[in-house]
Amino acid sequence: QAAADPMSSSDAPEDGPKETSSVSQNISDADAFKILLEMKMKKRQKKTTLPSTVTELDTEDGSKVYVVGTAHFSDSSKKDVVKTIQEVQPDVVVVELCQYRVSMLKMDEKTLLKEAKEINLEKLQQAIKQNGVMSGLMQMLLLKVSAHITEQLGMAPGGEFREAFKEASKVPFCKFHLGDRPIPVTFKRAIAALSFWQKVKLAWGLCFLSDPISKDDVEKCKQKDLLEQMMAEMIGEFPDLHRTIVSERDVYLTYMLKQAAKQIELPRASETEPRRYIPAVVVGVVGMGHVPGIEKNWNSDLNIQEIMSVPPPSASSKIFKFVIKATVFGLMGYGCYRIGQRTVQFILSMPAAQSYLQKLTEIRSQH
């Protein structure tokens, strides 16, 4: 009712609430469905003016997919997402997130900003426990890249996804899908693609990332997402890594968009009502760097089973894992030794301890 009649309560006549209450009690489920559906279809028929960052794709059964290419740290991208969803009134919204990153949809900007800046030992332990030593370390290093951009811009990542989530909830009968490959799979496949020295070199580059970034730099990167551009510069010499982090995810995102674009069943007020299907309207929200890959793969027959498998660890991975563990345990052992040594020295320096030791010496001398 609020969507059908946007007039504010202050402008409504005094007898408005009673009349509305009477109408809402008399309206049937079938009529309510029909009204909402008609409103949605009426909005779709209006002439749309979409942002220049939107790419329109079609399916064989007549469904339409509007892919919004975004920069993950951009106010302009948020506006593009909101405008596109409002204009096309989609049946499904698909975002470049997986279940391991869905928490960013529920957090506010302030909390996310704090979380992104704070990379501590607890988060490292959680990442290693969840993804294994190698993948956990890689995840933390990539988080460091994201945290670096966050600190430079004072803006938390994923704003366009949160806007998409909010706007999708305002569209009648609109579903919200996570369209990205799970992070553990991506990291494990990325690690398996690198040699021992490539892993060391990549980790070194990520650890010492410190170049300043401005908001103008972000907007200049609308044709290629900033975070992915920075990663591309660092992994440019590792084509296998680029394949697993970018190209394979292009395929996965394309597959998920095509799945979402299958014909949809219209809502039914009861089980006795006959089923009706119409072409779907889908909005996809992805990093700008993935748009060319999605266009390239759109008309191909895709099979994601291969890119979802995790290869067994190589010999170099086992060596690197052993070196990391040995280093960590070595540092922990040395720390315990130093702490223990200092603790003993501290206890022995206390007056009570010295007095006790003196008495023991006197007793021994008497015997």
116's enclosing H/E stretch is: helix 109-117
- Whether residues 252 and 276 share a domain: the answer is yes
Burial of residue 219, with CB atoms counted within 10 A of its CB: 0-12 exposed, 13-18 middle, 19 or more buried: middle
Taking residues 58-64, report their average pLDDT.
95
Buried-state track 300-334, b at ≥16 Cβ within 10 A, e below 16: eeeeeeebeeeeebeebbeebbeebeeeeeeeeee
Amino acid at 38: E
What was the pLDDT predicted at 13? 42
- Whether residues 269 and 329 share a domain: the answer is no
What was the pLDDT predicted at 28? 75
- Whether residues 260 and 324 share a domain: the answer is no
SS (H, E, C) 255-276: HHHHHHCCCEECCCCCCCCCCC
pLDDT digits (tens, 9 = 90+) for 342-353: 555 655 566 656
What was the pLDDT predicted at 292? 93
- Whether residues 84 and 170 share a domain: the answer is yes
- C-alpha 227/C-alpha 239 separation (Å) is 18
Task: From 269, 286, 311, give the residue that closes a domain.
Answer: 311
35's enclosing H/E stretch is: helix 29-45
pLDDT digits (tens, 9 = 90+) for 304-323: 999 999 877 656 555 656 66
Name every residue whose Cβ is closer than 8 Å to that of residue 158 and which is 6 or more positions away in sequence.
72, 97, 101, 104, 105, 112
- Whether residues 354 and 207 share a domain: the answer is no
Q: Does residue 70 belong to any structural domain of this protein?
A: yes
Cβ atoms within 10 Å of 13's Cβ, excluding its own: 7
Task: From 293, 311, 329, give the residue that closes a domain.
Answer: 311
- Whether residues 144 and 285 share a domain: the answer is yes
- Whether residues 205 and 338 share a domain: the answer is no
Q: Evaluate if residue 9 carries a pLDDT over 50.
A: no
Q: Does residue 133 belong to any structural domain of this protein?
A: yes
Phi/psi at 12 (5° precision): -80, 150
Contact criterion met (CB below 8 Å) for 199 and 240: no
- Whether residues 93 and 148 share a domain: the answer is yes
Instruction: Please spell the DSSP secondary structure of 79-105, one letter per residue.
Output: HHHHHHHHHH--SEEEES--TTSGGGG
What was the pLDDT predicted at 136? 63
What's the structural domain count of the chain? Answer: 2
Only one residue has tokens 């470049």, namely 96
Contact criterion met (CB below 8 Å) for 66 and 53: no
Q: Which comes out higher in pLDDT, residue 104 or 291?
A: 291
Q: Evaluate if residue 100 carries a pLDDT over 60.
A: yes
pLDDT band at residue 151, thresholds of 50, 70 and 90?
Answer: low
Of 100-104, 322-326, 335-339, the range with the lowest mean pLDDT is 335-339
Tell me the residue range of the domain where 164 lies: 49-311
Phi/psi at 4 (5° precision): -75, -30
Which residue stretches of 169-312 are H helix? 183-192, 196-207, 215-220, 226-235, 239-242, 248-260, 291-297, 305-308
Helix 109-117 and helix 133-153, axial crossing angle in degrees, nearest 10? 120
What was the pLDDT predicted at 42? 83
- C-alpha 45/C-alpha 35 separation (Å) is 15
What was the pLDDT predicted at 6? 36
**Which of the 8 DSSP states describes residue 244?**
I
Q: Does residue 24 belong to any structural domain of this protein?
A: no
Name every residue whose Cβ is closer than 8 Å to that of residue 246 and which is 6 or more positions away in sequence.
228, 232, 289, 290, 293
Q: Does residue 113 belong to any structural domain of this protein?
A: yes
pLDDT band at residue 23, thresholds of 50, 70 and 90?
Answer: very low
Q: Does residue 23 belong to any structural domain of this protein?
A: no
Q: Evaluate if residue 33 carries a pLDDT over 70.
A: yes
pLDDT digits (tens, 9 = 90+) for 190-232: 878 877 777 777 666 666 555 666 666 655 554 455 555 555 5
Mean pLDDT of the chain: 75
- Whether residues 190 and 66 share a domain: the answer is yes
Strands 92-95, 64-70: parallel, antiparallel or unpaired by DSSP? unpaired
pLDDT band at residue 256, thresholds of 50, 70 and 90?
Answer: very high
pLDDT digits (tens, 9 = 90+) for 270-308: 788 888 898 999 999 999 889 999 999 999 999 899 999
Contact criterion met (CB below 8 Å) for 66 and 282: yes
- Whether residues 295 and 148 share a domain: the answer is yes
Strands 281-287, 64-70: parallel, antiparallel or unpaired by DSSP? parallel
What was the pLDDT predicted at 294? 97
Q: Does residue 127 belong to any structural domain of this protein?
A: yes
- Whether residues 252 and 345 share a domain: the answer is no
- Whether residues 245 and 340 share a domain: the answer is no
Indicate the pTM of the whole model. Answer: 0.70
Task: From 311, 328, 350, give the residue that closes a domain.
Answer: 311
Q: Does residue 333 belong to any structural domain of this protein?
A: yes
Only one residue has tokens 């995840």, namely 139
Q: Does residue 2 belong to any structural domain of this protein?
A: no
